[in-house]
């Protein structure tokens, strides 16, 4: 899922400084699960803004609402009136949610309340770790289900650099060396031969390097008369 | 201006390093770190300290991710000074387009040796907020430059239109980094990709290195490439301890730390704040002398290991140490190999 973190309140206050009536919009999907932008966080953020701006002597009118998914038009339709009634929307969705609101409500102004950080998993309660770089050409079949693009600090494809020590990456003792993990996993499955072959330079054109990406599935598109 | 011979006479490239290695001599390479400025004289001064002592000198490429004069720029000055540079190229700062075009330029400017590296992560350098590249890794880099030389093609497969860049191609090996059992196999990948020579991370633990070389010999790798063991003089017992505890992939045995400590014994009982400047200077001199002697002893032990074709002396910011090391190890004068390849 998409992992995000809320921006510091001071930064948020600067972003909404121009507005008197602010609508905080939470999202019920990824950012709810990572406790960054769900209904609870939307309520807390709205209350914090109300109190903080009141203390500053310029109390703002801050409301909140949470939709199931900010990245789908049908859920955004549900909050049309509230959005149009506010001077500004503070989205607690990921970067996709913020852009969906901007695109769906071109007359309104939207600012981000979160920093969208990575695609990952909650590895334990209160800890989230990156797992996927969305490179568009998955090689997990070659690396025992551990991604060196997302998890090796240098995205190496042919084994560990000289900075792997005691299982961790040289950049941080808390970062596991992806290639140590790959080595251990392949070794335990007697599949080390897989990483002895030279992996050619990656085709990054399927990644962000190829420009903004788009998928069109003709089999799923609605015909003109249905649309 | 000194020109490098282009008649390869049966050599892949014909650089001094290649000639010395192919003639069966024990090779010596050094290292020169370019300045954090545009001052070419600093390169000339360092080159003068290494001239005649080494068969090639590595010119680092923004080492430890700190911005310095470019390896190829500094290498051009080194060529003018009559030394043969070994250009270092990392994958951190350039994508495949930039690497290939820079190497075409490097060859045209007279550079004949190349060391292919992944590159230190920018987190350690002076621009930690920079975006890194890592379009390719060091193994892929070796393969790309080998194909440019031997197949006359760019990485995309298109043919070069004219003179191909002919480099004697090197790669690095970290024998003591984890996962340690994989290290000989990673070396094999670099050799299969085309590495003509290998320079290893600093070796202080000869026994551990011997175990690595045993596996290397078992895989027959020493017959497919030339392996230069990395050595470097220690400046103090503190430096030895720092490397042991803080630098991944470097093993420093206690006996070497003890040897360095013992050298400073005359000052051991003086309290830290009672040491005069003269005391510190004298102690530093004794430590450095001992560091040079340790380095000489290491070279002599490494020379005995089958499959070690030479040493790579890393004395960055202490280039003066190279002369006593090379002389002390009986590796001076350096051989001149003019005749065609004899293999």
pLDDT in tens, A184-200: 999 999 999 999 999 99
In this structure, chain A runs to a length of: 227
Q: Which of B132, B174, B192 lies nearest to residue A198, judging by beta carbons?
A: B192
Whether residues A167 and B178 touch (CB distance < 8 A) is answered with: yes
The token pair at B318 is 């202490």
Same domain as A168, residue A109: no
At residue B332, the pLDDT reads 98
Asked whether residue A17 is domain-assigned, the answer is yes
Q: Cβ separation of B177 and A165 shorter than 8 Å?
A: yes
Confidence of residue B342 (pLDDT cuts 50, 70, 90): low
pLDDT band, residue A223 (cuts 50/70/90): confident
Residue of B nearest to A178 (CA): B179
Distance from CA of B221 to the nearest CA of A (A): 14
Q: What pLDDT does residue A227 have?
A: 62
For residue B306, count other CB atoms closer than 10 A to its CB.
10
The last residue of one of the domains, among A91, A118, A145, is: A118
Q: Check CB contact under 8 Å for A158 and B249.
A: no
Distance from CA of A214 to the nearest CA of B (A): 22
Q: What is the pLDDT of residues A156-184, one digit of tens each?
A: 999 999 999 999 999 999 999 999 999 99
The reply to whether A27 and A102 lie within a common domain is yes
Does residue B1 have a pLDDT over 50? no
Residue A172 Cα, gap to closest chain B Cα (Å):
10
How many contacts does A have with B, using Cβ atoms within 8 A? Answer: 96
pLDDT tens sequence across B108-136:
999 999 999 999 999 999 999 999 999 99
- Does a structural domain hold residue A128? no
- Is B134's Cβ below 8 Å from some Cβ in A? yes
In a domain, B336, yes or no: no
Check pLDDT > 60 for residue B34. Answer: yes
Decide if A220 is inside a domain.
Answer: no
In this structure, are A9 and A99 located in the same domain? yes
Query: For chain B, how far is it from start to end, CA to CA, in angstroms?
Result: 32
Indicate whether A158 and A109 sit together in one domain: no
Residues of A in contact with B119 (CB under 8 A): 154
Q: CA B34 to CA B42: how far, in whole Å? A: 8
Residues A162 and A111 in one domain: no
User: Chain A closest CA to B200's CA: distance in Å?
Assistant: 10
**Chain A closest CA to B297's CA: distance in Å?**
25
Domain identity same for A144 and A114: no
Is residue A27, in this structure, part of any structural domain at all? Answer: yes
Count up the domains in chain B and report the number: 1
A169 and A68 within one domain: no
Task: Write the CATH number for B163.
Answer: 3.20.20.220
Tell me the chain A residues in contact with residue B134 when contact means C-beta distances shorter than 8 Å: 154-156
Pairing of strands A2-6, A114-124: antiparallel
How many residues in total does chain B contain?
Answer: 343
Say yes or no: B128 contacts chain A, CB-CB below 8 A. no
d(CA A29, CA A92): 11
Looking at the structure of chain A, the number of domains it has is 2
Structural domain boundaries enclosing B167: 16-236+298-328
In this structure, the answer to whether residues A7 and A113 fall within a common structural domain is: yes
Share the mean pLDDT of chain A: 96
- Predicted confidence (pLDDT) per residue in B37-47, tens digit: 999 999 999 99
- Are residues A147 and A42 part of one domain? no
- The distance of A27 to chain B (nearest Cα, Å) reads 30
- Measured between CA atoms, the residue of chain B closest to residue A158 is B139
A190 contact residues in B (CB cutoff 8 A): none
pLDDT at A150: 98
In a domain, A226, yes or no: no
Could you report the per-residue pLDDT of B166-213, keeping only the tens digit for each?
999 999 999 999 999 999 999 999 999 999 999 999 999 999 999 999
**Does residue B244 fall inside a structural domain?**
no
Residue A192 lies in a domain: yes
Cα–Cα distance, B231 to A120 (Å, whole number): 42
Give the domain-ending residue among A118, A151, A180: A118
Residue A210 to chain B, least CA–CA distance (Å): 13
**Position B3 pLDDT exceeds 50:** no
Three-state SS at A164: strand
Please state which of the ranges B71-75, B268-272, B287-291 shows the lowest mean pLDDT: B268-272
> Which tokens in the block code for residue A152?
């090796």
What rounded mean pLDDT belongs to chain B?
A: 95
Which residue out of B120, B182, B250, B314 would a mutagenesis test of the A interface target, given it has the greatest number of A Cβ atoms within 10 Å?
B182
Asked if the structure places residue B49 within a domain, the reply is yes
Nearest CA in chain A to B194: A198
Domain assignment present for A69: yes
Which residues of A fall within a CB distance of 8 Å from B138? 156, 158, 161
**Domain range for A53:** 2-118
Instruction: Clarify whether residues A96 and A204 are in a common domain.
Output: no
Please name the member of B124, B140, B172 whose beta carbon is closest to the beta carbon of A201: B140
Asked if B96 and A201 come within 8 Å (Cβ–Cβ), the reply is: yes
pLDDT at A79 over 60: yes
- Residues A156, A199: one domain? yes
Instruction: Return the higher-pLDDT residue of A225 and B240.
Output: B240
Compare all CA atoms of chain A with the CA of B124 and give the residue at the minimum distance: A171
Dihedral class, residue A61 (left if φ above 0, else alpha if ψ from -120 to 50, else beta):
beta
Whether chain A has a CB inside 8 Å of the CB on B284: the answer is no
H, E, C per residue of chain B: CCCCCCCCCCCCCCCHHHHHHHCCCCEEEEEECCCCCCCHHHHHHHHHHHCCCCCEEEECCCHHHCCCCCHHHHHHHHHHCCCCEEEEEECCCCCHHHHHHHHHHHHHCCCCEEEEECCCCHHHCCCCCCCCCCCCCHHHHHHHHHHHHHCCECCCCCECCCCCCCCEEEEEECCCCCCHHHHHHHHHHHHHHCCCEEEEEECCCHHHHHHHHHHHHHCCHHHCCEEEEEECCCCCHHHHHHHHHHCCCCCCCHHHHHHHHHHCHHHCCCCHHHCCHHHHHHHHHHHHHHHHHHHHHHHHHHHCCCCEEEEEECCCCCHHHHHHHHHHCCCCCCCCCCCCCCC
Q: Does the beta carbon of B138 lie under 8 angstroms from any beta carbon of chain A?
A: yes
Is A104 among the domain residues? yes
To test the contact with chain B by mutation, choose from A144, A154, A157, A162 the residue with the greatest count of B C-beta atoms within 10 A, namely: A162
Q: Determine which of A144, A161, A194 to mutate to test the interface with B (most B C-beta atoms within 10 Å).
A: A161
Cα B167 from Cα A210, distance rounded (Å):
31
Whether residue B132 and residue A154 make contact (CB cut-off 8 A), yes or no, is yes
Torsion of CA B259, B263, B265, B270, to 10 degrees: -120
| Domain assignment present for B289 | no
Which residues of chain B have a CB within 8 Å of the CB of A160? 177-179, 182, 186
The CATH number linked to A88 is 3.40.50.2300
Residue B92: list chain A partners with CB under 8 A.
154
> For A146-153, what is the mean pLDDT?
98
Tell me how far CA of residue B28 lies from CA of A23, A206, B145, B222, B337, in angstroms: 70, 45, 23, 17, 14
- Are A99 and A139 found together in one domain? no
Region B50-78 average pLDDT: 97
């Amino acid at each position: 899922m998409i992992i995000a973190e809320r921006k510091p309140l001071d930064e948020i206050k600067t972003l909404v400084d121009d507005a008197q009536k602010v609508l905080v919009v939470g999202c019920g999907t990824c950012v709810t699960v990572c406790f960054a932008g769900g209904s609870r966080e939307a309520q807390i953020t709205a209350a914090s803004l109300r109190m903080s701006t009141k203390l500053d002597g310029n109390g703002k009118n801050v409301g909140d609402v949470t939709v199931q998914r900010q990245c789908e038009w049908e859920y955004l339709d549900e909050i049309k009136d509230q959005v149009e009634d506010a001077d500004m929307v503070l989205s607690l969705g990921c970067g996709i949610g913020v852009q969906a609101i901007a695109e769906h409500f071109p007359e309104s102004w939207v600012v981000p309340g979160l920093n969208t950080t990575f695609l990952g998993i909650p590895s334990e309660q209160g800890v989230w770790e990156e797992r996927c770089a969305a490179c568009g050409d998955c090689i997990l079949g070659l690396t025992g289900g551990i991604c060196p693009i997302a998890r090796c600090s240098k995205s190496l494809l042919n084994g560990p650099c000289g900075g792997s020590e005691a299982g961790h990456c040289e950049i941080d003792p808390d970062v596991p060396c992806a290639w140590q993990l790959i080595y251990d996993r392949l070794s335990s499955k007697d599949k080390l031969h897989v990483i002895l072959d030279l992996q050619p330079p990656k085709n990054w054109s399927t990644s962000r390097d190829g420009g903004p990406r788009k998928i069109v599935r003709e089999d799923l598109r609605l015909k003109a008369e249905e649309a | 201006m000194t020109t490098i011979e282009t008649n390869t006479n049966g050599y892949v490239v014909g650089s001094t390093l290649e000639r010395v290695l192919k003639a069966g001599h024990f090779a010596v390479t050094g290292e020169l770190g370019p300045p954090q400025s545009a001052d070419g004289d600093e390169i000339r001064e360092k080159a003068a300290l290494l001239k005649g002592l080494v068969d090639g000198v590595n010119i680092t490429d923004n080492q430890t991710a700190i911005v310095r004069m470019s390896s190829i720029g500094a290498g051009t000055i080194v060529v003018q000074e009559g030394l043969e540079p070994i250009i270092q190229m990392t994958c951190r700062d350039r994508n495949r387009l930039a690497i290939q075009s820079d190497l075409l330029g490097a060859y045209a400017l007279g550079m004949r040796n190349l060391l292919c590296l992944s590159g230190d992560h920018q987190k350690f350098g002076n621009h930690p907020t920079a975006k890194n590249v890592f379009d390719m890794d060091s193994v892929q880099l070796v393969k790309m430059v080998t194909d440019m030389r031997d197949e006359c093609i760019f990485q995309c497969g298109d043919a070069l239109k004219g003179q191909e860049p002919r480099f004697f191609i090197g790669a690095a090996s970290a024998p003591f980094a984890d996962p340690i059992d994989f290290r000989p196999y990673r070396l094999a990948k670099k050799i299969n990709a085309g590495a003509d020579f290998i320079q290893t991370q600093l070796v202080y633990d000869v026994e551990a290195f011997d175990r690595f070389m045993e596996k290397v010999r078992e895989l027959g790798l020493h017959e497919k490439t030339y392996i230069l063991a990395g050595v470097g003089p220690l400046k103090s017992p503190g430096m030895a301890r720092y490397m042991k505890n803080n630098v991944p992939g470097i093993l420093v045995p206690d006996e070497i730390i003890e040897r360095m400590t013992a050298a400073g014994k005359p000052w051991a009982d003086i309290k830290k704040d009672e040491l005069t400047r003269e005391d510190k200077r004298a102690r530093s001199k004794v430590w450095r002398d001992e560091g040079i002697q340790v380095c000489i002893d290491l070279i002599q032990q490494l020379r005995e290991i089958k499959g070690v074709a030479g040493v790579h002396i890393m004395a960055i910011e202490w280039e003066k140490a190279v002369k006593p090391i090379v002389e002390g190890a009986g590796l001076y004068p350096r051989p001149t190999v003019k005749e065609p390849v004899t293999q």
